[in-house]
Amino acid sequence: MPMILDTAFVQINNYADYYIMKNFRLSYIVLIMLFLISCKKEKAELSGENKLLTFSVVGQLSAPVIDEISHRITVTITPIANISALSCIFSVSNEALVTINNRQIGNTATADFSTPATMNIIAPNGNTASWTIVVNTISEEYGLGKSVTASKSIEKTFKWYFDQAGTGKFSSINCGPTVATMAAKWNDSTFTKTPEDARNTYRATGGWWYTDDIVNYLSKYGINSAYTALPDNYQTIKKYIDQNYIVILCLDNYYIRYNAIATQHVDKYYKVNAAASGHFIIVKGYKQVDNQFYFEVYDPWSYGVSYTSDNQLKGENRYYRSDDLETATNVWWDYAIIVAPKGKTVIKISELNSKTQLLSAVPPQHGG
């Protein structure tokens, strides 16, 4: 009997071990399955967010244009910003990685934007959104070119540009009175006369204004000016601008080329259909861009036409090519009127061509 009991007890123990092992194996399998399901679930739950939230660059003139449809960012920078090593600042979806031109970066970076750059935003699950970044200089938007190597602009803290439109019954030929008024206002911020006042001072009954009318009008208000010949337009005008004088030219406007692109600031925005079209302008600055030299001018012929981007009149701060100005003055009036800043007198600049003499009188020419 004891033996039978012992045998039965051993069998019971064997059955218990069997069931324990069986349950252990089942539990182990269940744990493995749960682990695999958990891993699968974790992998499935990795974020696919790869959105661009903000973007800017150091030296931008205005907020970038971010096109969500084409994934294109366009931004314009100041002329002094270094486009080849430009700092950008951005934010993207949480945990997303960013590369610019295949180089992984943080939320700030310096990159070469001299050509369009590719920005990839990579979500944790690997989904990638590609953006094209186009950085333009203001000179490119103006139509000047890319690389500005020399620049000067004679500016004031007050407005001194006048449009010859609306200057009375002779407004269509009032470029002379308008330019004279601009020069007087530039010289003295307290000057309150208008182009119509200037017209009523000389040739009030109509007709072209002449170069000597401008000089006489400036002299009437104590503003010093002088004539000079232009044996080398580019150097003569540039050197006087470098010394903070403004320059008045009387030229044949037909030879300043026309530009039909409405957003650009280069060349005339209006057409002149025939030669012998005398016109007065003020030269107040210059830019050397790539291989082209431009003069920055106030052309009084705006006639209320402005840029849609900022409402600036199109004759204000226009850029005319130096070779066009040379041709246009050579055929019409190969002189210039140099206007001195307030309280100063025009003096000959010593480093100029020996033929560049200040003159008290020259053959007069008209503009309209």
State the sign of the Cα–Cα–Cα–Cα dihedral 154, 347, 322, 315: positive
In this prediction, residue 156 carries a pLDDT of 95
Q: Would 70 be classed as within a structural domain?
A: yes
Q: Which tens digit of pLDDT belongs to each residue from 323-362?
A: 999 999 999 999 999 999 999 999 987 766 666 788 889 9
In this prediction, residue 271 carries a pLDDT of 97
Name the average pLDDT for the chain: 89
In this prediction, residue 304 carries a pLDDT of 97
What residue type is 90 in one-letter code? F
Kindly state whether residues 79 and 157 are assigned to the same domain. Answer: no
Cβ atoms within 10 Å, residue 243:
14
> Whole-angstrom Cα distance, residue 28 to residue 30?
5
What tokens does 114 get? Answer: 């001299």
| Mean pLDDT to the nearest integer, 178-184 | 98
Domain boundary among 90, 124, 142: 142
Kindly state whether residues 181 and 137 are assigned to the same domain. Answer: no
In this prediction, residue 98 carries a pLDDT of 95
Q: Which tens digit of pLDDT belongs to each residue from 100-155?
A: 999 988 888 899 998 999 999 999 999 999 999 999 888 888 999 888 889 999 99
Residue 297 pLDDT > 60, yes or no? yes
Q: For 30-44, 71-85, 245-259, which range has the lowest pLDDT when averaged over its residues?
A: 30-44
Residue 20 pLDDT > 60, yes or no? no
Kindly state whether residues 226 and 88 are assigned to the same domain. Answer: no
| Mean pLDDT to the nearest integer, 172-191 | 98
Kindly state whether residues 329 and 271 are assigned to the same domain. Answer: yes
In this prediction, residue 107 carries a pLDDT of 83
Residue 38 pLDDT > 50, yes or no? yes
Domain of 182 in residue numbering reads as 148-367
Higher pLDDT, 26 or 328: 328
Cβ atoms within 10 Å, residue 253:
24
| Mean pLDDT to the nearest integer, 240-261 | 97
Domain boundary among 107, 142, 177: 142
| Mean pLDDT to the nearest integer, 148-169 | 95
In this prediction, residue 8 carries a pLDDT of 45
CATH of the domain at 282: 3.90.70.10
Residue 66 pLDDT > 80, yes or no? yes
Q: For 138-152, 186-200, 298-312, which range has the lowest pLDDT when averaged over its residues?
A: 138-152
Kindly state whether residues 270 and 342 are assigned to the same domain. Answer: yes
CATH of the domain at 138: 2.60.40.2340
Domain boundary among 111, 142, 173: 142
Q: Which residue has the tokens 């701060």?
A: 317
Judge contact between 112 and 235, C-beta under 8 A.
no
Judge contact between 50 and 123, C-beta under 8 A.
yes
Kindly state whether residues 63 and 96 are assigned to the same domain. Answer: yes
In this prediction, residue 1 carries a pLDDT of 47
Residue 73 pLDDT > 80, yes or no? yes
In this prediction, residue 7 carries a pLDDT of 47
> Whole-angstrom Cα distance, residue 300 to residue 167?
11
Q: Which tens digit of pLDDT belongs to each residue from 131-141?
A: 999 998 888 88
Q: For 50-64, 136-150, 251-265, 276-290, which range has the lowest pLDDT when averaged over its residues?
A: 136-150
Residue 90 pLDDT > 80, yes or no? yes
Pseudo-torsion of CA 156, 157, 163, 167, nearest 10°? -110
Please name which of 63, 62, 59, 65 lies closest in space to residue 85, comparing C-alpha atoms. Answer: 59
> In angstroms, how far is the first alpha carbon of the chain from the final one?
139
Q: Would 309 be classed as within a structural domain?
A: yes
Please name which of 348, 238, 332, 227 lies closest in space to residue 288, comparing C-alpha atoms. Answer: 238
Residue 18 pLDDT > 60, yes or no? no
In this prediction, residue 29 carries a pLDDT of 61
Q: Would 311 be classed as within a structural domain?
A: yes
Q: Which tens digit of pLDDT belongs to each residue from 194-236?
A: 999 999 999 999 999 999 999 999 999 999 999 999 988 789 9
| Mean pLDDT to the nearest integer, 252-280 | 97
Q: Percentage of the chain with pLDDT > 70? A: 86
Please name which of 184, 186, 194 lies closest in space to residue 156, comparing C-alpha atoms. Answer: 186
Q: Over the range 328-354, which residues count as b (16 or more CB within 10 Å of their CB) and which as e?
A: bbeebbbbbbbbbbeeeebeebeebee
In this prediction, residue 9 carries a pLDDT of 43
Residue 314 pLDDT > 70, yes or no? yes
Q: Which residue has the tokens 């010394």?
A: 243
Kindly state whether residues 113 and 95 are assigned to the same domain. Answer: yes
Residue 55 pLDDT > 70, yes or no? yes
Pseudo-torsion of CA 203, 207, 211, 214, nearest 10°? 40
What tokens does 355 get? Answer: 């033929």
In this prediction, residue 84 carries a pLDDT of 84
Kindly state whether residues 138 and 152 are assigned to the same domain. Answer: no
Considering its fold, how many domains does the chain have in total?
2
Kindly state whether residues 261 and 176 are assigned to the same domain. Answer: yes
